[in-house]
Structure 1
Amino acid sequence: MDLKSTLLVIGGSACSFKLLNTIVRILPTLEPAHKKAWKWRNIITSLAHSLLTGAWAVLCLYHQPHMVEDLISSHSLFSHRLVAVSTGYFINDFLDLALNQSIRQSWEVLLHHYMVITATPSIDSIAMFLVFRVCATGWMIHWLATHSELVPRYVLMMGTVGLSLISTMNMVLCYRLLRTDILTSTGNTGKNH
C-alpha cells in the first residue's frame, strides 16, 4: 500500500469514527447518561473500534497464518489497512479528548494515543519498560521490606515469592526487549510475504 492510499485510509477512518460519534450524539440519551454524554459517546466509539479491529485482526491471522510465527517481517495488505484504520481512530480519539476534556483529566490517554500514532521507537519502549515495570516493582519491594514487621507473615511470604517471580519475569522480558529492539539488526523488517 503506497503512502497516498495509506493516508486516504487513515483520513477516511478518522472521519468515519467522527461520523459515528456524531450519530451517537444525535440518538436519544438515557437519563443517567445526560451528565456524561460526551464520555458515553467516546466509550461507544471506542467499543466500535475494538469490535471492528479485534475481528479484523483475527481475520488477518486466519487469511495469513504465517503471520502467527513472524509479526515483524510479514504482513499483508489486509493487515496494513487494519493498522491504518486504527491509526485513524487514534487520531480521531486524540482530537476528541483534547477538545472535550481538560489535559489534567486525560493526559495519560493522550500520551498513550500519541505513542500509538507515532509508533514509539525502541528506545522509548525500553524507557517505558524501565519506568513502569522496573521502578514499580522496585517500589513494591522497598515497601514490603520497610513494612515487613507490620504485615502478617503469610502476606510477607506471598509478597516475597510473588515479587521474586515478577522480578525474574521482568529480567527475562527486559533481555528479550533489548535483544529484539536493540541488539539485532533491523535489516529483515522490510520483507513483504
Structure 2
Amino acid sequence: MAPSGLLVTGASFAAFRGMHWGLQLLPTPRSAAQDRWKWRNTCVSLVHSLLTGTGALLGLSLYPQMAADPIHGHPPWALVLVAISVGYFLADGADMLWNQTLGQAWELLCHHLVVVSCLSTAILSSHYVGFSVVSLLLELNSVCLHLRELLLLSRQVPSLAFTVASWSTLATLALFRLVPLGWMSLWLIRQHHQVPPALVVLGGTGLVTVGTMSVILGVRILVSDVLQSQPHSPIPGHKETRNTRTCCDGEPVLRDDPTLSLKD
C-alpha cells in the first residue's frame, strides 16, 4: 500500500502547490491587500481543513472500527485521506519557505515536521491509519481558526461574524482538538506494549508538541477575543511576505494579534 500512498501524497502536494499559485491570479479583497500572500495561504489551508476534517468525522461515523482498532482497522480510503493531509503539510511548508525567512517560519515548520513524521508512518506501513484519522479531527477546529484569520485579515473586527468565529474556535478547540488529543494520549499509554518503542517516542513527541501548542492557542484566543476589548489584527502567528515588511523588526504595519497560527 505504500507506493499508492506515496503517489497520493505526491498528487496532493502538486494540487495544493497548484492552488497556491492559482490563487495569485484571483483578486484579493482590498482590505487584505497589505498581506496578499497570507490571504492566499489561509484560503488553501481552509480548503485542506474542510476536506480532511469533515472526511475524518464522516469516516469515523461510518467506520467506527478505526477508533476501536486504531492500528489495523481501516478502509482503503482512510489511507488516502491521511496521504492528502501529508501532501498538504509538505506543500504548505514549501510555500512558507518560499515566502518567509526561516526565522519567521521555524515554529510552524517544526510543527509540520512533527505532523508529517507521524502521519507518514501510517502511509509507509499501512498501520495506525485509524489513529491518524482520529488526529485529523483536529482540522475541524482549524476550519474555525482559518475563518477567524480571514476575518481578521479583511478587517471584519468587530463584527457578529468575528464573534461567532471566535466562540466557534474556542468550542471546537475543546471538542475537536483537546478531546481527540486526550484520547490518543490515553490510548498510546495503555497500548504502548503493542507499539514499537520508536513509534511510542514519535507519537508521544507529536502529541506533546501539538497539545502544548493547542493549549497556548486556546489561552491566547480567549485573552485576545474575550477578555480584552481592544481591536484585533491579523491572526495567530501572522506570516508575511517579503513585500509586506515595512518596519525595522520585519513586521508589517498592522497591530499584532497575540495568538499563534496552528495548522493541524
TM-score norm. by structure 2 comes to: 0.46
What residue is the counterpart of 1:180 in the other structure?
191
What residue is the counterpart of 1:80 in the other structure?
79
Structure with the bigger RCO (C-alpha within 8 Å, sep 6+) is 1
Change (3 A) 1:176 1:5: closer
Task: State whether structure 2 residue 125 is matched by structure 1 residue 114.
Answer: no
Contact persistence 2:13–2:87 (CA under 8 A): yes
**SS of the residue 1:18 aligns to:** helix
Change (3 A) 1:107 1:38: same
Task: State whether structure 2 residue 23 is matched by structure 1 residue 59.
Answer: no
* Offset from partner CA, 1:81-116 (integer Å, 9 cap, x none): 111000000000011111111121121100010111
Identity of aligned residues (%): 39
Contact persistence 1:60–1:78 (CA under 8 A): no
**SS of the residue 2:5 aligns to:** helix
The one-letter code matched in structure 2 to 1:180 is Q
Q: Which runs of 5+ in 1 are unaligned?
A: 122-172
The one-letter code matched in structure 2 to 1:88 is G
Task: State whether structure 2 residue 99 is matched by structure 1 residue 100.
Answer: yes
Contact persistence 1:21–1:41 (CA under 8 A): yes
The one-letter code matched in structure 2 to 1:79 is A
Contact persistence 2:28–2:39 (CA under 8 A): no
Cα separation, 1, equivalents of 2:187 and 2:48: 30
Q: Which runs of 5+ in 2 are unaligned?
A: 122-183, 200-264
* Offset from partner CA, 1:57-91 (integer Å, 9 cap, x none): 12221331222323233222111111100000000
Change (3 A) 1:50 1:174: closer
Change (3 A) 1:176 1:20: closer
Cα separation, 2, equivalents of 1:53 and 1:26: 25
What residue is the counterpart of 1:69 in the other structure?
68
The one-letter code matched in structure 1 to 2:11 is G
**SS of the residue 1:74 aligns to:** coil
Cα separation, 2, equivalents of 1:6 and 1:73: 16
Structure index of larger Rg? 1
TM-score norm. by structure 1 comes to: 0.62
Q: CA RMSD in A?
A: 2.5
* Offset from partner CA, 1:156-193 (integer Å, 9 cap, x none): xxxxxxxxxxxxxxxxx988654434xx1338x9xxxx
Cα separation, 2, equivalents of 1:91 and 1:45: 13
Q: How big is the shift at 1:56?
A: 1.0
What residue is the counterpart of 1:167 in the other structure?
none
Aligned residues: 134
Q: How big is the shift at 1:119?
A: 1.2
Cα separation, 2, equivalents of 1:114 and 1:63: 30
Change (3 A) 1:34 1:112: same
**SS of the residue 1:4 aligns to:** helix
